[in-house]
Chain A
Amino acid sequence: MPTILVVDDSAVDRRLIGGLLQQKSVCTVEYAANGVEALARMKNVLPDLIVTDLTMPVMDGLELVRKMRTHHPDVPVILMTAHGSEALAVEALEQGAASYVPKSQLADRLPKTTEEVLALARAARSSERLLGCLSRTEFSFRLDSDAALVDPLVDLVGRIVAGMKLCDFAGRLQIGVALKEALLNALFHGNLEIGMAPSAEGQDMLIQETDESLVERRRRQPPYRDRRTYVDVRISPDEARFVVRDEGPGFDVAAAPAPGDAGALEPERGRGLSLMRAFMDELTFNEAGNEVTMVKRRESTHDDHPSR
């Protein structure tokens, strides 16, 4: 049975709204006279939904919406607007309110809006729980030599790693950096055989491709044009494993500066490799040097739950 918290500075309106809600659906209704009271109540128990007036003393509906977004983002808020305060309603929606109902149309619209918002919240909670049941996920991609594909791929991996709770925010960042380096290496140094391995600055240069840049020219020319980068991503609660393979001639892994060497952090292939080595638990190349396997394991210091 859902609990709905009704927030309104008018006692008459509170009774009216509560009565309307209970008449039309099965729920428990609680009351608060303004935003501050509402928040105080929520220290102990969270309602499933908040229905609030907009203009109230002490803390108004808009401020309540803002505070809810920060402290209790999972509890949806429906705003009731009096005639003349629609502009505030728009602002409230932007700030994260789930919906709004004009006070003049409560009987008509509140029960239905309440049902809809509760259903959406239920669905969102179930989705989160579902992701918690994901025990493994694997993706394979076949990429053109286009830098614009790198960020979305790194983002996607970041989201899955986050959902699987493999590592903390810093760990995810490291995975992102290492993966990005590996991808840019494959795309540009590997497939397009462009000498300067892009660092972050180099990448910006490459992304602002001008018509006659080397990148553009190579992307149009065979054999570079037809080469693809193959990416394999395998994520489980214990580890994230990436295999990035390009179709270029490869490189001499042994000749690259070893970590700690003088040239290791220079903005050439050396720096990229150093980052990848530093951030991943395992880093191996095939003999030709055009396929790299990177593994990041769940950190033992991180919240250790037995894998599901």
Chain B
Amino acid sequence: MSILKTFHTESEDETLIVMPQGSVSSLAGDEVSSELDELLERLERPGPNNVVVDFEKVSYFGTVMLGAMHAIWKHVREEGGKMVLCNVSDMGREILRVSGIDVLWPVCASRQEAIEEVNR
């Protein structure tokens, strides 16, 4: 487990679990950037190519978070993996739907479901 300021990560089976810890936009741009870098580096290493993003700690978010997820997703896609979201609040779902980005990533109700979904 790694405690980065914004994105905590865990590995479970073949899946990398990313847990945003709160509002992303209130961090300095270069901090988000370096945390993302670390995350993406981990994806480039041999190992899990599938990612589950767990939103348990985040009740709402904006385009800065969406941008970070997009960056993660691009790498996942390049490596031939899948990305699934879970524990998204009602407000979070609304944001995903309204911004039209819900078509990209399936949303599951629980982490367990998400792990199963991503490894299918």
CB contacts under 8 Å to B, within A67-126, are: 111-112, 115, 119, 126
- Counting CB contacts under 8 A, is A24 at the interface? yes
Q: What is the predominant secondary structure among interface residues of chain B facing chain A?
A: loop
Query: At the interface, yes or no: B98 with Cβ under 8 Å from chain A?
Result: no
Size category, A interface: under 10
Extra contacts besides A24-B2, A119-B22 (11): CB < 8 Å: A24-B1, A24-B3, A25-B3, A25-B4, A26-B4, A111-B3, A112-B3, A115-B3, A115-B5, A119-B5, A126-B26
A26 to B3, CA, bound (A): 8
Instruction: List residues 17-63 of chain B with CB under 8 A from any CB of chain A.
Output: 22, 26
Cβ contacts A to B, 13 pairs, < 8 Å: A24-B1, A24-B2, A24-B3, A25-B3, A25-B4, A26-B4, A111-B3, A112-B3, A115-B3, A115-B5, A119-B5, A119-B22, A126-B26
A179 CA / B4 CA spacing, docked (Å): 49
Q: A111–B3 Cα gap in the complex (Å)?
A: 8
Q: How far is the CA of A24 from the CA of B8 in the complex (A)?
A: 11
Closest to A118 in B: B5
Give the Cβ gap from A216 to chain B, nearest Cβ, in Å.
47
| Chain A stretch 1-29: residues in CB contact (< 8 A) with chain B | 24-26
Chain A's nearest CB lies how many Å from the CB of B90? Answer: 25
Chain A interface helix/strand/loop/mixed: helix
Chain A residues with CB under 8 Å of B26's CB are 126
Residues of B contacting A26 with CB < 8 Å?
Answer: 4
Cα A24 to Cα B26 with chains together (Å) = 23
| Cβ-closest chain B residue relative to A115 | B3
A150 to B2 Cα, complex, angstroms: 52
Complex formed: what's the CA distance from A114 to B26 in Å?
A: 19
Chain B residues near A25: list those with CB within 8 A: 3-4
- The 4 lowest CB-CB distance pairs between A and B, nearest first, are A25-B3, A24-B3, A115-B3, A111-B3
A26 vs B2: C-alpha distance in the bound complex, in angstroms?
10
Q: Which residues of A contact B1 (CB under 8 A)?
A: 24
Most buried by B among A25, A26, A111: A26
Bound form: Cα–Cα A24–B2 in Å: 6
Q: How far is the CB of A17 from the nearest CB of chain B, in Å? A: 16
Q: Could you say which residues of chain A place their CB within 8 Å of the CB of B4? A: 25-26
User: What residues on A are CB-neighbors of B3 within 8 Å?
Assistant: 24-25, 111-112, 115
Shortest CB distance B107–A (Å): 27
Q: Give A119 to B57 CA distance when docked, in angstroms.
A: 14
**B2, B3, B4: which has the most chain A beta carbons within 10 Å?**
B3
Q: What's the nearest-Cβ distance from chain B to residue A112, in Å? A: 8
Contacts of A24 in B (CB 8 A): 1-3
- In whole Å, how far is B74's beta carbon from the nearest beta carbon of chain A? 25
- Chain A, range 196-227, C-beta contacts under 8 Å to B: none
* Closest A residue by C-beta to B34: A26
Chain B residues, Cβ within 8 Å of A119: 5, 22
Chain A residues 116 to 147 lying within 8 A of chain B, measured CB to CB, are 119, 126
Which residue of chain A has its CB nearest to the CB of B26? A126
Q: Which residues of B contact A111 (CB under 8 A)?
A: 3
**Which residue of B is nearest A123, CB measured?**
B26
User: Which chain B residue lies CB-closest to A2?
Assistant: B5
A119 to B1, CA, bound (A): 19
Q: Which residues of A contact B5 (CB under 8 A)?
A: 115, 119
Contacts of A115 on B, CB cut-off 8 Å?
Answer: 3, 5
A126 to B3, CA, bound (A): 22
